[in-house]
Structure 1
Amino acid sequence: MALNDNFDVKIPDSSLARQVTQLIRDTESELLFSHSSRVYFWAALLGNRKGLIFDPELLYVASMFHDIGLTSQYHDSQLRFEVDGANAARDFLRSQGLGGTDIEKVWNAIALHTTPGIPEHMHSEIALLQAGAGMDVAGRGFEQFTDEQRGAVTAAYPREPQFAHKMIDAFYHGMKHRPASTFGTFNDDFLAFKDPGFKRTDLCSVILCSHWEHC
């Protein structure tokens, strides 16, 4: 797919990109696959608009792997789902002969995509993945895209009816078995929204009741 609006954005035409597409299509639900595809386009469009220098292939890999940690193959993991995704992308890139800075960029982009306030100060691929994910899930930066751009992306990769609720469900089911991994992130919002019995960990209580304080 190519988007034309004063510039051209398309999925990289490479063996690596094709393998990523097939792997994620075979692994994720249609909901997550289409979401990840849209994230790439929002990220690349924004990068072009801002005149950023980025590697489209690395950005595509990061976009496609960023939510794989929510899938059922990680139902026994106690890591943050972002770290599961970052590790999966790292292993894939290593199998393709990539290494060093390329893997570091992709790993950090995925691991930090739910951590506001940090990615935007890092490499373009890292900043853009967070921006693309925020656009697709929460509409952050919605006004920075034209009607034509939004229409073209969602025509190629449609948002399912009730997309917002389905994404919340996907987050919940991907993390309900590892609630401790949501501490210190906004991911505990998904557990609290879906499970009235969920109790958030309160850092002030942790500090006040530590061994130092003898609570």
Structure 2
Amino acid sequence: MATLLHDITLNERFDGPRRFEVEGADLVRIFARQRGVDERRAQLIWDSVALNSTPSIGLYKEAEVALCTAGICLDVVGLQYELIPPAEIARIVEEFPRLDMKRRMTGCFCHIAEARPETTYDNFVRDFGERYVPGYRTPSSVDLVSDAPFEE
């Protein structure tokens, strides 16, 4: 369920107040619960959706979350692409065409950077905003630490 629905909010209509992965994770968890999925598995689904674009964390979670993250990262950025024989990759892509995925995803990421830049300061959407969105600006982690309301 998480693998199929992990990008439910990655579209050019997205306008949620939080980062798209968290908004999507909440929607997919509700969907799972409404279909009788128990709380433990619903939480695994939530983690899989919320962390799929954060492999530095997702790959070290429970096996289900790590597998979901690894598969999505293979599909998007080619993580461990070299481990799959070229003929197998060709068969997969023939069966499941990519449908101009790179261009379409870039458009979605840029939309989020334009519409909700405050949700992008600590995720990869920031990279798309910085590269492709004129006038894009969001606080960096350095800004957040520097501007923390403590005297020391």
Tell whether the structures are fold-level matches, with TM greater than 0.5.
Answer: yes
Shift in Å at residue 65 of structure 1?
A: 1.0
Aligned identity (percent) is 29
Within 5 Å, give how 1:1-215 maps onto structure 2: 61-72=1-12, 74-75=14-15, 77-161=16-100, 163-213=101-151
List per-residue Cα deviations over 1:89-147 (Å, max 9, x = no partner): 11111111112111011100110111132112211121112111211111111101112
Q: Distance in 2 between matches of 1:157 and 1:87?
A: 27
Q: TM-score, normalized by length of structure 1?
A: 0.64
Runs of 5+ in structure 1 lacking a partner?
1-60
**Distance in 1 (alpha carbons) for counterparts of 2:11 and 2:55:** 23
Distance of aligned partners of 1:67 and 1:174 in 2 relative to their CA distance in 1, 3 Å threshold: farther
What do the CA deviations read for 1:168-206 (whole angstroms, capped 9, x no partner)? 112222453111111122221111122131123122233
Structure 2 unaligned residues grouped into runs of 5+: none
Report the AA paired with residue 3 of structure 2: S
| Greater RCO structure (CA 8 Å; 6+ sep) | 1
Q: CA RMSD in A?
A: 1.9
What SS does the corresponding residue of 2:56 show, helix, strand or coil?
coil
Aligned mates of 2:129, 2:73 — CA distance in 1: 19
Moved over 4 A (4+): none
**Distance in 1 of aligned mates of 2:119 and 2:19:** 5
- The structure number with the bigger radius of gyration is 1
Contact map agreement 1:81 1:175 (CA 8 A) in 2: no
Task: Kindly provide the amino acid, as one letter, of the partner of residue 64 in structure 2.
Answer: E
TM-score by length of 2: 0.89
